Amino acid sequence: MAQTRFKGKTVIITGAGTGMGRAAALRLATEGAQLALLGRRPELLEQLASEITAAGGQALAFACDISLEDKVSTAVQNTLDHFGRVDGLFANAGVLGTFKPLGATEASDFDPLIATNLRGTFLSIKHCLPVLEGGAILINASWTASAVMPGAGAYAATKGALLAMMRTLAVEQGPRAIRVNAICPGIILTPMADDVLAPDLAARLASQAALKRNGTPEDVAGTVAWLLSDDSAFVTGQEITVDGGFTIGGVRL
């Protein structure tokens, strides 16, 4: 029997066109969610929305750069106008930036990371909060916020800031029955990760995970669905690591 945990509920997903955002959208659609798909590449969003509607689901695509407040505000309002409600947000959109040692990092290297990962996530949440009545917010952080990937210091700094934001929001919004959590994916083979992981490096990282493989976006989608659903109704302020045991994989030789 197909699950219907999200029947009649509306979820906004940022960065929905590829990777974990796309996989989460497809998973939530199978469980009855009405979806607002946000991202910077409208052709990918439209393709995904068509795929979902062709399978009997409901999805709308909104081209939106989350670093621009007016775009975010408009997308949230359009979602509310069409579906009549917003029950959840998967604040998934993010950028990797340029990998380099922090000692070689320029101040300007932080600008695109802060604009999307930190400011954009904040704006996505800010404009959803007034229209949420209960429900859940889920932030896509990273394993690098609590462990170390040399060269990813600037990226990790923005993801660590998201965890601090998540915990504060969980306390502030708890009285409104709004739950706020974060996932910290490990090595997930998304198109964005493919841009920085050569095949030999990806293989070495896989060998260091307890499950001896890297993850796929579909490996993350189930955790996203759980944390946005009422099945996690008493879970808030938590960071959930989804990494196949990479961060506890043992001694690196």
CA distance 106 to 140: 25
Task: Decide if 155 is catalytic.
Answer: yes
Which position among 6, 62, 90, 155 bears the catalytic label? 155
251 to 67, 146, 176: CA distances (angstroms) = 39, 17, 44
Tokens of residue 207, six digits: 């060998």
Tokens of residue 25, six digits: 């959208």
SS (H, E, C) the chain: CCCCCCCCCEEEEECCCCHHHHHHHHHHHHCCCEEEEEECCHHHHHHHHHHHHHCCCEEEEEECCCCCHHHHHHHHHHHHHHHCCEEEEEECCCCCCCCCCHHHCCHHHHHHHHHHHHHHHHHHHHHHHHHEEEEEEEEECCHHHCCCCCCCHHHHHHHHHHHHHHHHHHHHHHHHCCEEEEEEECCECCHHHHCCCCHHHHHHHHHCCCCCCCECHHHHHHHHHHHHCHHHCCCCCCEEEECCCHHHCCCCC
Contact 237, 139 (CB under 8 A): no
Catalytic residues: 155
